[in-house]
Structure 1
Amino acid sequence: MRMAYDLRHKDWYAWMKENNQPAFRADQMMDWLYQKRVSSFADMSNLPKKMRETLSEQFRLEPLKTLTQQTSSDGTIKFLFALHDGHAIETVLMRHNYGISVCVTTQVGCRVGCTFCASTLGGLKRNLTAGEIVAQVMKAQIALDEIGEERVKSIVIMGIGEPFENYEATLQFLRIMNEEHGLHIGQRHITVSTSGIVPAIYRFADEKLQVGLAISLHAPNQELRKSLMPVSYRHPLSELMEACHYYIETTGRRLTFEYLLIKDRNDQDQHAHQLGQLLSNLNCYVNLIPINTVVERDMERTPRNQIFQFQRIVESYGIKATIRREHGTDIDAACGQLRAKHLDKKSEQPS
C-alpha cells in the first residue's frame, strides 16, 4: 500500500482525474496533508465520504509510530520511529539561530560500512519510500505544532543510510518538500549528504537543482579513506574529486566537505595540510565535526586545542573551515545510536 505522502501535487491531480474527481480536490488533499496536518482520512471533512473511503483503502496516512523521543538540554529532539513493517529509523530536530532544522533518514540501516558510524551496524535492511522520508518531517512538524513553535525551516538528509543509493525516493522527497502546495521549503534550505557515490554525483549535478550537496570526506588521502570508509574501494578519492569538480562546474554551487575528527586517526597536522592541498582549487568549505562517542567503534574525540589547530592549517590554504556546533550531546547523539540500542533490546527479548 502506498503512502499518502508519496505523491506530489501533480500526482494527486492525476489520481483525482482517474477517480472522476474535480481537479481542485488535489489542492484540498495537499492542504489536509501539509497545512492542517491531519492523521486520518476521516478528518478530511470537505472531501466526499466515498472518496475518503477509497483513500483509506488505497493509501496509508500514518506510516510512522513514535517509539522513543529524547529531548536534549539544548532543545534537540531525537525521534525513534517504527515503520509499518516493524523496522526502526531515526530523525533529529535541531534548533539553530536561523530556525529549526530536521535531519532525515533515507534507508533502514546502511551498507556503506563507515567504520566510525553506528548506522551501518546490522547492514542495510531496505530503502525508504519518498513518503516515509516525508513523514519524518511531518512528525517533527506536528511535534512543534503541539508546543506552539514555528515551522521547520530547513532539512538535512544526513540521517541513517546513503541517500544516493536510494536516489529516486530521495529526489521525489526533495520535490515534495519544495512543493508550493506542501511545506514549501526552499531548495536552498535543503542539503543532501553523500559518502561519495560517484555516478550519482554526476547525475545529481545534471538535475540542476538549488539543493546543497555535502560530501562526507573524513580523510585527505586514498589509503586513510579506505580504512575509514570502504566506499573508497568502489569509488576512489581521485574519482570522487573529479566528480566534485564536475558538480561545481555544472551547477556553479559551492560544495561542503564534512570532515569527522577522530583522535590520532585523521586529525594530525599532516592530515590538515593534505586536506588543504586536496581542496585548495575548489569552490568549497569544510565542516569539521568532532566525533560523537560510539562505544561500538572505540573511537575517541580529538582534543579541543588540536581541533582549532587543524582548522587554522586548513584555512591557511584559503579554504573556509567551520567547526560544527554540537547538538544533543546529553542524549544518543551519534547517528544510528538510538536505533542500535533499540535493536540490542529487541535481541535480548526471549523468543
Structure 2
Amino acid sequence: MCAVKSKIDIRSLTLEQLQAQLSAMGQQAFRAKQIYSWLWQKSSVDFEEMSNLSKPLRDTLKQEFAINAVRVQREQHSGDRTIKSSFALHDNHIIEGVLIPAPDRMTACVSSQVGCSLTCKFCATGYMDRKRNLNADEIYDQVVLIGKQAQEHYRQPLTNIVYMGMGEPLLNYSNVMKSVERITAPDGLNMASKRITVSTAGIAKMIKKLGDDQVRFNLALSLHAANDSKRNEIMPINEQNSLRALAEALKYYYAKTKNPVTYEYIVFNGVNDGLTDAQELAAFCKHLPCKVNIIEYNPIAFADFENAAADKIDRFADFLRQRGITTNVRRSRGKDIDAACGQLAIKETATPTT
C-alpha cells in the first residue's frame, strides 16, 4: 500500500518559499503574492475563498497544502465583559486566550506554548507539562479570532496584543518573532509594534537576543520579587537567571533598543508585600527606564498564596511613586471564569471537527 503524501503547512512558508513551490508545480510565481494576501491580510483558512484564483489552482492547492486553522471550541463570558476562549489546534491540543475589554482599549491575551516548561508556583499553567511550541500561524490565528470577538460583541477592533497567555514566549523565540512580523507587516494585519507586549519570566540570554534583534514591541518582565531567595522560591527559573543576570541583560536590551521595560509584580500576602520588598524593587528599577504594573493575585487550586489587602497594595504602589517610579495597580479581569492573570489551565479536551 502506498503511503499517503503529507501536505505542506502553507503558512509555514515564506513568500519566497511559496513562490518556489508554485514554480515547481508549473504555476506562475506571481500567484504566491495573491495567496499570501489571502492567508495573512484577509486571514483566510479556506482555499475556496480565494476567489481571484482559478478553480483548478484552488484544487491543486488543496491537494498539496494544508491550512492548519485554529478554531474556537468554547467561549466563556465574565460578568466584567472579559471573554475567555478555549482554542482547539489541528492536532487536538487545547490552548486558551482572552479578550480583555476596557474603556480605552481592546486587548487580546494570547498563548505561545501548549502548557509551560517553567514551574512558577503561583501560575496554573506552570503546573501543566509543556506539550509543544505553537507555530507562528497558531499565534496569529488567536489574534484574528479574538479580534472577531471584539467586533461581534463590542463593535470595536483590537487595539493591543499581549503575549501573556500560556507558555514562555522567549522559549519559543522564532515562532513568536515570526508571528509578530506577520501581525505587524503591511501585507499582514498591519498592527503597530508598540501595541504589542511580550512578557517573559526572565530568560537573560534571550532578552539580550531581543536587543540584538532591535525589536520594536514592548517587553514586560514578570518579576514578582527583587530578592533572589524569594524569587527562587516562587519562580525557579531565577536559579539559572538571577536578578543580577537579568539586570545585565535588561541594560543590554535597553542600550540596543531604547525601549523602557515594564516590571510585573504580583503582591502576595506575607510573601513580598513589605517595606523591604518595596525598597528592593525600587532599587532594581534604577537599572534602566521602566514602569511597574502591580497585579492582583488570582488564587488557583494548586497553590496557597493569598492576595495582599487592597490598602497594603496601595501603600506599596505609593512607596514606589514617591521615588519617581511610574506605577500602575492593575485590577484583575475575568476572575469568575478563570481568565485572570495566572489562571489559564486546560480542563478539557478537543472535540473532533465534523
State the TM-score, normalized to the length of structure 2. Answer: 0.90
Tell me which residue corresponds to 2:167: 161
Residue 332 in 1 paired to residue 328 in 2?
Answer: no
Tell me which residue corresponds to 2:305: 299
Whole-angstrom CA distance in 1 between matches of 2:72 and 2:239: 37
* Number of residue pairs aligned between Structure 1 and Structure 2: 345
Query: 26, 45, 49: which one pairs with 2:51?
Result: 45
CA contact (8 A) 2:338 2:344 kept: yes
Whole-angstrom CA distance in 2 between matches of 1:185 and 1:132: 17
Q: Which moved more, 1:302-311 or 1:17-26?
A: 17-26
Tell me which residue corresponds to 1:95: 101
Encode CA deviations 1:258-278: one digit per residue, 9 max, x unaligned: 111111111112111111112
Tell me which residue corresponds to 2:69: 63
Query: 278, 283, 301: which one pairs with 2:289?
Result: 283
Whole-angstrom CA distance in 1 between matches of 2:105 and 2:16: 29
Encode CA deviations 1:129-148: one digit per residue, 9 max, x unaligned: 11111111122223345457
What is the deviation of 1:12? 4.3
Whole-angstrom CA distance in 1 between matches of 2:193 and 2:337: 30
Tell me which residue corresponds to 1:139: 145
The verdict on how the C-alpha distance between 1:320 and 1:295 changes in structure 2, with shifts beyond 3 A counting, is same
Whole-angstrom CA distance in 1 between matches of 2:128 and 2:255: 38
The verdict on how the C-alpha distance between 1:14 and 1:99 changes in structure 2, with shifts beyond 3 A counting, is farther
Encode CA deviations 1:93-144: one digit per residue, 9 max, x unaligned: 1113333221111111111110000012222111111111111112222334
Query: 210, 217, 224: which one pairs with 1:211?
Result: 217
CA contact (8 A) 1:35 1:183 kept: yes
What is the deviation of 1:218? 0.7
CA contact (8 A) 2:224 2:265 kept: yes
Whole-angstrom CA distance in 2 between matches of 1:232 and 1:243: 13
The verdict on how the C-alpha distance between 1:336 and 1:255 changes in structure 2, with shifts beyond 3 A counting, is closer
What are the ranges of 5 or more consecutive residues in structure 1 without an aligned counterpart? 347-351
Residue 122 in 1 paired to residue 124 in 2?
Answer: no
CA contact (8 A) 1:5 1:134 kept: no
| SS of equivalent residue, structure 2 residue 125 | coil
Alignment of structure 1 residues 335-350 onto 2, 5 Å: 335=341, 337=343, 339-342=345-348
| SS of equivalent residue, structure 1 residue 166 | helix
The verdict on how the C-alpha distance between 1:2 and 1:265 changes in structure 2, with shifts beyond 3 A counting, is farther
Tell me which residue corresponds to 1:312: 318
Alignment of structure 1 residues 231-310 onto 2, 5 Å: 231-310=237-316
The verdict on how the C-alpha distance between 1:66 and 1:270 changes in structure 2, with shifts beyond 3 A counting, is same
Whole-angstrom CA distance in 2 between matches of 1:297 and 1:49: 56
Tell me which residue corresponds to 1:196: 202
What is the deviation of 1:304? 0.3
The verdict on how the C-alpha distance between 1:198 and 1:104 changes in structure 2, with shifts beyond 3 A counting, is same
The verdict on how the C-alpha distance between 1:336 and 1:127 changes in structure 2, with shifts beyond 3 A counting, is farther
Whole-angstrom CA distance in 2 between matches of 1:8 and 1:261: 44
The verdict on how the C-alpha distance between 1:58 and 1:189 changes in structure 2, with shifts beyond 3 A counting, is farther
Q: Which moved more, 1:155-164 or 1:43-52?
A: 43-52
Whole-angstrom CA distance in 1 between matches of 2:329 and 2:17: 41
Encode CA deviations 1:145-170: one digit per residue, 9 max, x unaligned: 54572332221111100111111111
State the TM-score, normalized to the length of structure 1. Answer: 0.91
Tell me which residue corresponds to 1:184: 190
Tell me which residue corresponds to 2:3: none
What is the deviation of 1:341? 2.6
CA contact (8 A) 1:294 1:334 kept: no
What is the deviation of 1:234? 1.2
Whole-angstrom CA distance in 1 between matches of 2:9 and 2:102: 31
CA contact (8 A) 1:93 1:100 kept: yes
Matched AA of 1:67: Q
Encode CA deviations 1:161-190: one digit per residue, 9 max, x unaligned: 011111111111111111111210111111
